[in-house]
Amino acid sequence: MCGIVGYLGKKQAAGALLEGLYRLEYRGYDSAGVAVMDENVIRIVRRKGRVKELECARHLVGNIGIGHTRWATHGSPSEKNAHPHRFGRVVLVHNGIIENAHALKEECLTRGEEFSSETDSEVIAHLIERYLTGDPLLAIKKACERLQGSYALAVLIEGKHAIYLARKKSPLLVGKGEALLVASDLPALGNISHAYALEDGQFALLKGDEIAFYDGELRPVSPKEIAFDREEGEKETLCFEHFMQKEMAEIPAVLARSEVDFATDSRFSDFYRVLCQTEYIQIVACGTAFHAGLCAKEAIERLARISCEVTVASEYRYRDPIVKENTLCIAVSQSGETADTIAAALLSKEKGAHLAALTNVAYSSLTRAADSVLCTNAGREVAVAATKSFNAQLFVLYSVARALAFSRGREAPPMQCFSALAYRALEVAEEVRSWTPFFAAAKSAYFIGRGADYVVALEGSLKLKEISYLPSEGYAAGELKHGTLALLEEGTPVVAIATNEDLAEKTMNAVHEARSRGAQIFLVTTLPGLAAREEHSVLLPPIDEVYSPLISVIPLQKLAYYTALARGNDPDKPRNLAKSVTVE
C-alpha cells in the first residue's frame, strides 16, 4: 500500500524525494513525510494529507534522505502516525504490516521506552536502536528476525552517510543513474540507467555511489537487473483532466498492443504445451481482477469445456483448496504485488499447479514466482480505479480461452478488431454523462445482468462505489426478486446490461419488475431493438457475446467517472483506497 522513496547523490535530496512521492501517491495519500540528513543530523517533516502538504520540506538541506506516503493500517491518518518514524539514532520508513507489533511494543514498554505514534512501524525503529552496537546492517538483520508479517524498510542512522534496506513480501526497488534511488515502484525512480529489485529476505546498502546487496545471512550477492520501459515514468495527464479519463481513452490502444495468439506465437510455445495438458483451471485474484477472472470462466467453460474455478485470493488460502493433477492456476494482479493474490498463487503452486502470472508489471513479485508470465502491456495505470488494465486482462484471458479451445479441436469466435470496437464504445459511452444527475442525487444504485453481463454488473457497481462513494450492488438479474426488490424506491437507479440475445428478454423481466417498484432504468446493450425501448440507453457496436465485457464495461467506467465528478470527488484518488494492495 504505502510508498517508499530514497535518495543518495550530489544534489539536494528533498526535491528528489518529493518528486518520487508525487509519483507514488497512488499507493496511499493519508499522510506523507521526508527525512533528510545533513552533517550527520537528520531532520524530519511530516504532514497529514497528500504530498502537496509536504512542499514546505523543500527547504531541508542534505544530499541523502528517505520519504514515505501512507495508506493507514495501524493508527488513524495523522501527522504523528505519518512516516518517517524515529527512535534514538534510527529513522525509517516502512511498507507492510508487522503482525506481532503489539507483543514487541509491550516488550519495549517494559524496558521503559516511549512511543510517539499508534503505528506498527515505530516498533521496528526501537528494535534496530536496541541492537545498534556496531554494524547497522547487522542491527537491522537482528531486528528483522524478530518481525512477523511483511516489510519493505529504508533506514537512516544518524552519523552514517548511507541508506539501509530490507525486504520481506513488500516490493522494494533500487535505481542507479546520476544518483542512487530507492522506491516501491519503478516510476518513482525517475531518470536511471539501471534498476534492481530486492528479493525476499535480502538486504542492501547504498553508500557513496555504490549499491551492495546481501542475502539473509548478510553474505554479498549479485542482484538481478530488471528491464524497464522508460516511458513508465511518464506522469502527466496531458490534455485530460484526470488520469482515469486518460486511461479510459487509452483502452483501444491497449487492446491493440495486447494481442497475442498463444497457439501459434513461438514465444509462448512452452505455455501452449501446458494449455494442451491442462484439465482444470483455477483463477485467483482480488477486486477488479477477480471480475476479469469471472469473465474468463464464462469464456473458458463455454469455448473449451474445461472446468474453471475463480476464487477471491484472500479466501483461497484459508479453505484448504483442492488442486488436482494438470491444474493451471492463473493469478491475476495489475501490479503483481497484491499480497493476497501472491499468497494464494504460491499455495496453488505448492500443491502442484502450474502457476501463470497475468500482470501489468513484468518485474513484479508475482512474475518472479510464476512458471509462466502473461503480460497485459497496458502501460502505467495511475488512477486507483482500474479501467484499461481490466480491459487488457480480459483480452489476454480471452486469448487463453481461445487457445484452450484450439488445443481441444474446438471452434472459438475470432478475435475481432477490438480496438476499433472499443474506440466506438468510448464515443457512444459519452451519453452516460446525461445520466449522472440521477446517480448524483441517489441514495443507492443497482446493476443487473445475466451470464457475462452479470459480471460486468459487478464491475460497474464496484467502479461506482469506489470513486463516487454511492452505495451500489451488482446482481444476477434473476436474483433481484429474492430480497433486493425491497430496497427499491421511487427514483432508485437500476442499470441493466444486456448483450446476450438469448438472455435479453429474461434480463428485461427483471427490468420490468424494478420499474414497477419506481426504479429509474438505464440500459447498456448491443441490441438495437432493446435500446429503442428504453429512454435512457447506450447502444454499443455489435460484438460476439462471449467477448462483450471488453466493451460493455466502458459505459459503466464512464458513468462512475462522471458521477464522481458530479458528487465533488477526485476520481483518481478515492478516499481510504490505494492502487497497490501489498498487505493481507
Residues with catalytic roles? 2, 579
Q: Which three cell numbers stand for residue 525?
A: 446493450
Coil, helix or strand for 153? strand
DSSP code at position 56: G
Cα(198)–Cα(365) distance, integer angstroms: 10
Coil, helix or strand for 299? helix
- CB–CB of 421/551 below 8 Å? yes
- CB–CB of 493/471 below 8 Å? no
Q: Where are the beta strands (DSSP E) in 61-179?
A: 64-70, 85-87, 90-95, 151-157, 160-168, 173-177
Coil, helix or strand for 387? coil
Q: How many CB atoms lie within 10 A of CB 406?
A: 20
Rounded to 5 degrees, φ, ψ at 354 are -80, 125
Angle CA 58–41–45, to nearest 5 = 35
Q: How many CB atoms lie within 10 A of CB 109?
A: 12
Cα(469)–Cα(444) distance, integer angstroms: 10
Dihedral Cα 356, 360, 364, 368, nearest 10 deg: 20
Alpha helices per DSSP H over 66-210 = 101-110, 122-131, 136-144
Residue type at position 114: E
Q: Which three cell numbers stand for residue 71?
A: 495508506
Q: How many helices (H) and strands (E) does the chain have?
A: 18, 24
Residue type at position 126: H
Whether the ω angle into residue 413 lies within 30 degrees of 0, i.e. cis, is no
Angle CA 96–170–315, to nearest 5 = 80
SS (H, E, C) 463-502: HHHHHHCCCEEEEEHHHCCCCHHHHCCCCCEEEEEECCCC
Sign of the C-alpha dihedral computed for residues 413, 419, 425 and 429 taken in this order: positive
Cα(240)–Cα(249) distance, integer angstroms: 9
Instruction: State the greatest distance between any 2 C-alpha atoms of the chain, in Å, as a whole number.
Output: 78
- CB–CB of 389/463 below 8 Å? no
Cα(228)–Cα(362) distance, integer angstroms: 8
SS (H, E, C) 231-294: HHHCCCCCCCCCHHHHHHHCHHHHHHHCCCCCCCCHHHHHHHHHHHHCCEEEEEECHHHHHHHH
